[in-house]
Structure 1
Amino acid sequence: MGLVFTSPQQAADAVGSDLGCSAWLTIDQARIDTFAEATGDHQWIHTDPERARHGPFGCTVAHGYLTFSLINNFLPDLFRAEGMKMGVNYGAERVRFPAPVPVGARVRAAGLLLKADILDGNALQSTVRVTMELEGAEKPGCVADIMGRYYF
């Protein structure tokens, strides 16, 4: 279950920690289509299974940003503050998409706590490297350094 912390110092003391992995999630066509609808990105490699069958990946693939957006779903399994007043997404660094995520693939997040800087004594700015692993694949679907701020 990753790192659960109740103070900025607890997180700062854990820098360099492997945060483990989340549960697996299957990427189905309905999720891909819903993301396409929400973002307006209806490129055929994502939304047209028949055409995609003859395309470069042999099937539809998830949008890179869909894979990236799922980090928010998995992050609490890896790194979570308890007893805070407020937490906010602060940004992301070094986002990359090393491999396509084919429809039907199972993904999970693995985490590594890169930084945990104490701000004003009662807040924390963290950077967690999240690797979106693909079951049975050599390369991940996404790797991103996710920054968050937690106020206690």
Structure 2
Amino acid sequence: MPGSPSLHLDYRPDLDLLTGRWLFDPDPEQLRQDYEDLLKEGLYCGAQRWLLDLRRRPALPVGLTDWMETTWLPHLMGVAPPDLRIAFWLPPQREVLRRAAPALNARVEEMLRQPGAYRLRLFEDEATAMAWLLAPAGT
């Protein structure tokens, strides 16, 4: 399965689950490439469920949030399978930072309410993320 030194990708056809685990916090250019690779692999596999493990990436690089909002997520929305679910598994300190950043928090909440080609949620633990990913469609 493709990947990079910083991102391990694994597809489980029995669960229709693509997992992307960052092994360390790469530089911003590599991180953008990792997200592009993740998108390509997800589309290639046709995975309906994505678990993105961000625990080894404690901070968002400057400019990545804007790139995600203006480039990557809109592109994903245009090409994603109809019922795609994406679970972002955050490190505990990232959740604290997210809650402390009202502008980012408001943007994430807005994205969660938008109808579109995918559903996105943020999680602090894998069990809760997996339960949501594997729940029947429409829940």
**TM-score category, normalised to shorter length:** under 0.3
TM-score by length of 1: 0.24
Q: Which has the higher strand share?
A: 1
Q: With a CA cutoff of 8 Å and minimum separation of 6, indicate the structure with the bigger relative contact order.
A: 1
TM-score by length of 2: 0.25
Bigger Cα Rg: 1
